[in-house]
Structures are given as C-alpha cells and as structure tokens.
A and B are shown apart, each in its own frame.
Chain A
Amino acid sequence: MKDRVGKLKAVTGRTEFSVFLGLLLLTVAMSIASPFFLKTSNIFNVLSQISRYGIISVGMALVIITGGIDLSVGYVVGLCACVAAWLTSQAHLPWPAVLLLVLLLGTVIGTVNGLLVTKMKLVPFIVTLATGKILSGCTLLLTKGMPISFESSLAWLGSGYIGPIPVCVIIMFLVIIGGSVFAQCTLTGRNIYAVGNNERTAELSGIKVKKLKCSVYIITSLLSALCGIIVAGNLYSSDASLGIGYETDIIAAVVIGGVSMSGGEGTVWGSLIGAAIMGILKNAFVLLNISSYWQSVVIGIVIIVAVALDVLRVNKKEK
C-alpha cells in the first residue's frame, strides 16, 4: 500500500503530469468555448498539424537530454522536402529510391552535426545554427526560389488516410512510442540520460560518450528528413520556405513537456504533450476567431509559465 502511494506520488510529482493536467484543462475549456473543437475532423486536423513537430520533437528531446541542442531541424525539413520533390519531378526516380535517398541525406546531415559537436568539440548551438544556414542556402540553390510541384505515391505519407486517420498522425504515434521505448527501456536510452547527467562519470563508466552524442543528432536529422517528406506530400509541392521556424516551436514543445535544457532529465512522450498544447492553442485562435497575431504572444507566455512552474517545483523539492 505504502509502495503504491509512493508510486502515485512519483507519477503526480513529475513535470509531465502537471503538463498533462494543463492539456486536459485546455481541452475542456476549448470544447466549452467552441462547438467545433471536439468534431472528429477538427481533432484529426489538429493532430496532423501537431505531427510535424511531434515527430521531430522525439529526436530533439534526446538531443536536449544529452545536454545539446539542434537548431538545424527546420532547414533539414525544407531541404529534404525540396530534394524529394526534385528527385521525383526532375530526376524521375521511383518513390522507394526517393525515400531512401532523402533519409540518407538526413543521416548525412546528422552525422556532420554530430561529428562537429563531438570530434571538433564545437558548441552545438553554433554548429547547428551554422549548418542550418548552409542547408537553407542549399535549398534556395536547388529550387532557385521557385516551388517544385510533384506527383508521387510518396505523398501518401503526408496526405493519405487509413480509415479516418491521417497517415502522418499514425507515423507520429509510432515514432513517439518507439522513441519512448528507446529512451526508457533500452541500454542506449539509459546511457543517453547518463551522458546528459554527467559526461565524465558516463565516460568513466565505459560509455562511449562521443558515439552516443553523435547518434542523437543523426536520429534528429533522420526524423526531420521524414518530416520533410510528410510536409511536401501534404502539399504535393515544395519550396524553400517549408520548415522555417520549426526549431523554435519544437524546442518549445520539448521544454513545455518537461525536458530540462541543462540535460539529463525529461521524457520523450512529454514532448508530445507539449506539442499538443501548442497545437490546440493555435487551433483555438482559428476557431475562436482571434487575430493570429496573438498566437506568438500567448505561446511565448505559455513557455515561460511552463518553465517557471518547473523551476518552482524543483526549488520546492530541494527545500
């Protein structure tokens, strides 16, 4: 019995729990405020909006847990979306080849980020800021600033449905579940937390810190590449503006979800809740007919409140 109470406390004491309560509250408030909110079509609409951030946030959460950051994700999305469109419409490659090449491109970008951070010992913030710039330029060079439209079965990933459920939503849930199991239940996952907690201790415990840190950047870029295909597939068209600004929304989702920016703490599925809160907020502005200019203001406030609550909680615990 005592053990059960302890377990309950352990669950309710977590940041994810209070964030989840916030999400529930928001859902209830929205369903009262707008009759359209709980309609199936609206819910799937919100979920497919979230899916873009949700998928990448899994990788971002892992990166931040190791104590790093990846600011290049949005530009990976943009480049991969355009490369996918170009390979299909200009190079006329079949869709499996396009899929493979784009995912490979993601892997390469992630490897470059990872190697610059681990081997060259550069600060992740700067490295990914710079690679992001480079990728953004590459996208413009490839598209010459014009949209590329395409027809491909690959678009199914972004615009297809299985029953009433959008394919991209299913992919998001698969990625989140996979990512959570990876982080919580595998040796590599445990080691990622260990590295974020104390790199030196991890190294002395025989963990190959560099390899591990490199791998989380690869995972993140790979997921961003996947997301690029989804975004392009959703529109049957790609241009250089796709993905711009993703990094800030994704980092916000991860932080709202309870991952500590100093590393070592947080969960992958918490980021899904963070992404959901942001998705619902954005949806709310549309449904309630409020000027979308207020969106950024409110989301900014939500981030501050979420992080401040977390700091207060930690301080209280330490006392």
Chain B
Amino acid sequence: MGDSVICELQNITKRFPGVVALDQVNLSIKKGEILAIVGENGAGKSTLMNILSGVFPPSEGRILYEGQERRFSHTREAQELGIAMIHQELSLSNALSIAENIFQGRLPKKATGLIDKKKLFQDSQKLLEQVGLGGVDVKTLVRDINASQQQQVEIAKALSLHAKLLILDEPTSALTPAEANVLHGVMGKLREEGITMLYISHKLDEIMKISDRIAVFRDGRYIETLITKDTTVERMISLMVGRENSAAYTRARYMSEEDYNSRPVVMEVKNMTVHKKVQDVSFKLYQGEILGITGLVGAGRTELLQAVFGADKREHGEVYIEGKEIKIKHPSDAIKSGMGLVPEGRKAQGLFLEMNVRENMSIVNLKDQISGFRLIRRQEERKKVTEFNNRLRVKTPSLEQKIVNLSGGNQQKVIIARWLMNNPKFLFLDEPTQGIDIGAKTEIYDIIHELSENGMSVIVVSSEMQEIMSLCDRVIVMYEGKVSGELIHSDFEEEKLMTFMSGK
C-alpha cells in the first residue's frame, strides 16, 4: 500500500431541505487501501457515498479524483472514471445468467449484430476468477446462486467497468458469517491488485478484521481517521457516539427496578423461532412498559415482532397473555387478544394509499360498527374517526382526503389511531419515526408515553439508538437472530448497546 492518494474530498457540504446532511467534510482516500466508513444512522455515510458515486452533487466543496477536480452529475460519469458503488440492495436480474448480468447493457456483439456469446462467456469467466468465483459456470442463472455469490457477481460487474474505487454499502448485512468470510477474502485479493475500496458497515468486528483505516463520522461531520491495527472497537465506538448528547427527548418517568418487581408480566414470548431469521428468542413484557428491541438491520427484530403478531411464519414459539397460552395463527388472532402492530415501511405494509383517511383509520375497528343487516354504520364510523383524528391531532384537510397526500408523520398518526380505536392492550411499533420530521417525532413519542402511562404495554423496534435510549424503559438487543443483551433504563449506555449490537 503506497501513500499516493486516489481521491480527496475537500470541504464537502450537502444540504437537503431542512437538514445539513454533511458539514464541511474532508477525507482523503489512499490508493489500494480498504477504508472503512463508520457512524450511526444519520451520520452522513450514505450521503457521502452518494456524492462520490455521482447520485447527486455536493452543495459545496470539491472532489479531487486522480489529481483532477471532478463534479459528477450522474452515476454514469463516476462509473466511466472507475468509481463503482455496490448497493445494499443488489441490482442484478434474477432470471438472467451471471454473464448476462455482468455485461448487462454492454453485451459484446459480432459483426452481424448478434451477441458474441463466446467472448461474453470468456470475459465473464476471467472476471469471476478475479472475484473468487472461478468454479461457477457463467451460464448459471443469478437466482440459483447464494447471496454472497451474488455480491461477488456484483463486484465482477463493477470490475468489468474497470473500477478503481469500489464503494461497498453494507455488503454483508444479508450474508451468513461464512459467506461474509468469503467476501472478505475476495476484498483482500482485490486490494493486492491495487483496487481501492470504501467499506461501509455497522459490523465493527468485520471492520477491525478487514480494513486498513477507519474514518469515523458523526452527525454529518467527519471526526477522525483511525489506523485499524493501532486501534480498538471501544475507541471506535466512543468516537461514533461522541461525548455530548444533544438535547434528547426525555419522558417524565421511566420504570425503576421496584416497578419491575411490583408490576405484573402481561405478555410472555417463549422460544420464538422464525426460519433463518429468529432463533429461540424469549422475553417478557410488563404492564405499562415501553420495551425497546434494537439491533442491526437483519438482526431479526422485525421478524420477531411479526411472528408474535402472527404475520410471519414461525417454526415454533409460544405466546402467553396473563399466563394463558394464546394460539396465534393469523394477525386476526393477535388482534382478538388485544394486540396492535404499526409495521415498518408505511407504504409497503401500513397504508392503503388510494383510500382516504377515514377508511385507513377505521379498517380494524369497523367490525364493531356494523348494524343488524351487516351494514356499516356510517355515522358512527365518521364520529369515531373524527374523535381519534382530533385526539392524535392528525393534520388533514378532510377525512375524505386520500392518505397518500398526507405527510409521513400524519400518515403514521393515522396508523396509530387505527389501532387505538380498537382499544388494544399491547401496541407494537416497528421503526415508528422512520422518515418523519423532528416535530412529528416528538408528538409520536408523547403519544407512546401517554399510552404507557395509561397502562398499555408497548414494544418499540428501532435502529435509532437515540430513540431507544430516550423512549424505552428497557431494551433487548438482538444480533443475528438471537438476544445478545438486555438493559433497563437506569443502565442505558450507548457504548454498551453498541457492543451488544455488534454481537460482542
């Protein structure tokens, strides 16, 4: 590894409406190194990588690449210069062969205009050998190879574009430890060939193993670059967390140890297992408690919650409510026993986008507003929706407004209202404030706090450390499908949580 610099970022600032995502960032990337980029969610890692790979230009600042100032307005421009980004979600076409994927859109042609298969297969084979997939037939369909092999094909695709600087965004989040090892082997090999890699990951132990240097980001600012072999995970975590905790949300009261001794357990989950996602997880939920479940993406938090709710197929696992076992085969069973779930991904799982606010809110409770002839009592529906609309202060021009036209925060309030109308005993919220502005966030925290004060037991799944720390009475940390740690509020420390999250 020489000391020549391949890329230098100078005073990069990126502003989005209402937020500064990156603030005066300076970073130099050395030729042929693996530079890890770490930071909490919202630290600005993704924004930086998007600027470097040409997804959008910076608001201010200069990018010097191979000694020349560059300004990319499209990913293609960055690609032509040898900067390739490999996204978390792969962009491969499942029904095409490996070779066709590598040269997608650039298939070699013969003089007749037909595809030159011989050249295609030969070139692809060479690239596969380069990324350690030499033994795999290039004609294999992408859907028939495993996740890490797909990652390798993605890298081969980047290399076919003569990439000199590879950006890998959480490449191992969907991989098993063994698969991740293979990928790390490939990365080591590419480094020997002089290819520079930026490695974004939350998995700190992986970073310690594979990287040469580590650049730490916090709140949109570049903090420091560490030399991997001279540093420790603890040092990295303390830099990521920072010392000051900026004005965070706090509840009036959190459950104390005495509370835990005196309050009844209202729900108990035993040995919950979901194929490949959750392994043998058990936990208790107390009356009026806000329980946080956190962990990295892919740790199995969402799957655990959905399995309890009957929405995800479980292999085994029991749910007890007030000591009695409840058979939950479908969400309707969970709802009958008093549960409600505000799922992650509002558009995908939470909303009926083309339906109006009233219909979105009343959908669960409508069964209680039916007349003798099985007709919906419209007056009652409207009355009840109006009541909850006001109670949660949903800002909408009318109840007949299509929900797609509301802001994220108001959409989320409608989904919460949907469950509150049904008067649940347990409310599960999965990433409740994702993509919601700060004002609405606080309002949602207040709602959750008030519910718990009134005796409702709440589970909040979140990957935002700050959210877990300021909202929850207790937190369970998951790592690769298992519980890796548990803390009550008085013992909350960001460092401890981070350590649990990385599986230590």
Q: Is A190 a contact of B376 with CB atoms below 8 Å?
A: yes
Residues of A within 8 Å of B376, CB to CB, are 185-187, 190
Q: Number of contacting residues on A, CB 8 A?
A: 24
A202–B330 CA distance with the chains assembled, in angstroms = 12
Residues of A within 8 Å of B330, CB to CB, are 206, 208
Number of A-B contacts defined by CB within 8 Å? 73
Surface stretch bound by A, among B91-99, B252-260, B361-369: B361-369
Residues of A within 8 Å of B363, CB to CB, are 190-191, 194, 202, 205, 207
Q: Which residue of A lies closest to B345 (CB)?
A: A200
Residues of A within 8 Å of B351, CB to CB, are 198, 201
Residues of B within 8 Å of A193, CB to CB, are 352, 355, 359
Q: A186-B375, A204-B309 are in contact. Are A197 and B355 (CB under 8 A)?
A: yes
User: Which of A6, A197, A202, A205 is B353 in contact with, Cβ under 8 Å?
Assistant: A197
Residues of B within 8 Å of A264, CB to CB, are 352, 354-355
Query: B340-364: contact bitstring with A at CB < 8 Å (1 yes, 0 no)?
Result: 0101000011111111000100011
Residues of A within 8 Å of B350, CB to CB, are 201, 204
Let me know if A249 is at the binding interface, CB within 8 A. no
Q: Is A198 a contact of B353 with CB atoms below 8 Å?
A: yes
Q: A197-B355, A265-B354 are in contact. Are A205 and B375 (CB under 8 A)?
A: no
Q: Which residue of B lies closest to A193 (CB)?
A: B355
A128–B1 CA distance with the chains assembled, in angstroms = 64
Let me know if B408 is at the binding interface, CB within 8 A. no
The SS class assigned to the A binding surface is: helix
Q: Which residue of B lies closest to A191 (CB)?
A: B363
Q: Is A204 a contact of B343 with CB atoms below 8 Å?
A: yes
Give the distance to chain A from B356, nearest Cβ to Cβ, in Å.
10
User: Which of A194, A200, A204, A208 is B355 in contact with, Cβ under 8 Å?
Assistant: A194
Instruction: Give the residues from 169 to 218 in chain A that come closer than 8 angstroms, CB to CB, to chain B.
Output: 181, 185-188, 190-191, 193-194, 197-198, 200-208
Q: Is A200 a contact of B349 with CB atoms below 8 Å?
A: yes
A186–B367 CA distance with the chains assembled, in angstroms = 10
Let me know if A162 is at the binding interface, CB within 8 A. no
Let me know if A290 is at the binding interface, CB within 8 A. no
Query: B444-470: contact bitstring with A at CB < 8 Å (1 yes, 0 no)?
Result: 000000000000000000000000000
Q: Is B332 a contact of A206 with CB atoms below 8 Å?
A: yes
Give the distance to chain A from B238, nearest Cβ to Cβ, in Å.
40
A188–B366 CA distance with the chains assembled, in angstroms = 10
Residues of A within 8 Å of B370, CB to CB, are 187
Let me know if A10 is at the binding interface, CB within 8 A. yes
Residues of A within 8 Å of B380, CB to CB, are none
Give the distance to chain A from B374, nearest Cβ to Cβ, in Å.
5
> Which B residues fall within an 8 A CB radius of A?
309, 311, 330-332, 334-335, 341, 343, 348-355, 359, 363-364, 366-367, 370, 374-376, 378, 398, 400, 418
16 A-B pairs besides A193-B355, A200-B348 with CB distance below 8 A are: A6-B398, A6-B400, A187-B376, A190-B359, A190-B363, A197-B354, A198-B349, A198-B353, A201-B343, A201-B352, A203-B331, A204-B341, A204-B343, A206-B332, A207-B332, A264-B354
**10 interchain pairs, CB-CB under 8 A:** A190-B376, A193-B352, A194-B352, A198-B353, A204-B311, A205-B363, A206-B330, A208-B330, A208-B332, A265-B354
Give me the 7 closest cross-chain CB pairs, A-B, nearest first: A206-B332, A197-B352, A206-B335, A185-B375, A200-B349, A206-B331, A205-B363
